[in-house]
Amino acid sequence: MARVGQRTAVAGGQLADSVSVGVLEKAFSRTLVDEVIEACGRREQRVRALPARVMAYFCLGLALWSDGSYEDVLGMVSSGLVWAQGGDGPPQMASKVALFKARVRLGPEPLEMLFRRGAVPIGKPDWDDCFLGGRRLLAIDGTTMDVPDTTANDEHFGRAGVSKGERSAFPLARLVAVAECGTHAILDAEIGPYTTSEVGLSKGLVDRFTPGSLVIADRGFYGYDLWVRAEATGADLLWRVKKNLKPVFVEDLGDGSWLGEIRRGGRAGRKANPVRVRVIDYTVDNGTLDTDGDDNTDGGFRLITTVLDPADIDAGDLAAAYWQRWEIETVFDELKTHQRGARGVLRSKSPELVHQELWAMLCCHYAIRLMMADVEVNGGRDPDRVSFVAALRIARDTAQQGGFSP
């Protein structure tokens, strides 16, 4: 008979079994956590009741149980913390003040490095919507997160302006992320203040694009300099652009696309060498809203891409692939609505801990998505069509029952 709270297998994929070894530990192993702590200089010089290793997993626990108190979360992961402390019995329960001070000591850097080292591509070439023309399908986009209304957060992050000179209720942290379209796994991210634009924050992300990927972006990202910067990485690009971008016509390609040339604006741009792109113009009869959420009554789209040869990827396939960009909007909904929960506003009252909390949230989301991808391996289902809400519930239940074992 199943224990109270125990979940059964989902669609033959044995989803509950896939988390029995530890949802978080599977993605972010003990060895990796130790390496990160060492690299960030957080290794203790003396024995502490709450060492850095314990606190790294505690921060992941806070992201998993976003509505839980410090004491409740520590209690839920206490059996796993036995290993981390190297003891024979459960760790001493710490006060909220002690846990807060330990979070401050840890800082955001170990969680950021843990994410950057642990969040690796998941999708396989034969999985639905993961690859096109031998390239991994990725999407880049941005969102914001409400953070507590403290003086420090307000000064660091800033707020959105509203009508009549009023400001938004909470300061806002900005997140720009790159997600794998076929699995919804976030593979890279940058976090900054609301006062930094999405394009400004994305420059670091763009520099980390890699060959073998096809990165999709909406029309808010295009700028000549950012396009050239992204193309220089060797990654292929498929970006929507505004209709006032008018590449110089070079050649019709016969598949509904054409080659064109773009230049930087201004006098200096006229003297610079042009950049060749492939242009795809098409219309979609989908009412008045498009995939970017903007008014689009004429249904017109203009895409540009670095994939210049129609024999490599047909224009129709590229146009269809652009709609995969919507998958990252679903990813943000998973983070903000389901994983963050009813709390709505993050819990951290200082900029350093906001960054720590957000990196922990990204780690936790990746761990859940890695777990869900096992369904593809074991049960033959499409990972981006498995319920994230159900997977999150299972992850929380399994970790509480002892599956989380740092």
Mean pLDDT, residues 327-344 taken together: 89
pLDDT at 267: 65
**How does pLDDT run across 127-139, given as a tens digit for each residue?**
888 999 999 999 9
Token pair listed for 223 = 């700028």
| pLDDT for residue 237 is more than 80 | yes
pLDDT at 191: 98
pTM to 2 decimal places = 0.87
Amino acid at 401: Q
Q: Three-state SS for 261?
A: strand
Mean pLDDT, residues 297-319 taken together: 91
Mean pLDDT, residues 237-266 taken together: 93
pLDDT band at 7 (very low <50, low <70, confident <90, very high): very low
Between strands 186-193 and 213-217, the pairing is unpaired
Q: Could you tell me how far CA 295 lies from the centroid of its own chain?
A: 26
102 within 8 A of 68, measured Cβ to Cβ: no
pLDDT band at 72 (very low <50, low <70, confident <90, very high): confident
Longest dimension (CA), the chain: 76
Lowest-confidence segment of 198-202, 296-300, 354-358, 399-403 by average pLDDT? 399-403
| pLDDT for residue 5 is more than 70 | no
**How does pLDDT run across 75-124, given as a tens digit for each residue?**
777 655 554 444 444 555 788 999 999 999 999 999 999 999 999 999 99
* Alpha carbons 29 and 25: distance in angstroms, whole number: 5
| pLDDT for residue 177 is more than 60 | yes
**228 Cβ partners below 8 Å, 6+ apart?**
275
Helix ranges (H only) for 255-385 are 266-271, 315-322, 326-333, 351-379
pLDDT at 18: 34
* Alpha carbons 13 and 232: distance in angstroms, whole number: 41
**Neighbouring C-beta atoms of residue 274, cutoff 10 Å:** 15
* Alpha carbons 36 and 43: distance in angstroms, whole number: 10
pLDDT at 270: 66
pLDDT at 54: 85
* Alpha carbons 334 and 354: distance in angstroms, whole number: 19
pLDDT at 402: 46
Stretch (H or E) spanning 369: helix 351-379
pLDDT band at 213 (very low <50, low <70, confident <90, very high): very high
Q: Three-state SS for 218?
A: coil
pLDDT at 79: 59
pLDDT at 282: 92
pLDDT band at 342 (very low <50, low <70, confident <90, very high): confident
Of 302, 284, 285, 170, which Cα lies nearest the Cα of 245? 302
pLDDT band at 299 (very low <50, low <70, confident <90, very high): low
Give the residues across from 137 on adjacent strands.
214
**45 Cβ partners below 8 Å, 6+ apart?**
none
**How does pLDDT run across 273-297, given as a tens digit for each residue?**
899 999 999 988 755 445 454 544 4
Of 213, 206, 237, which Cα lies nearest the Cα of 136? 213
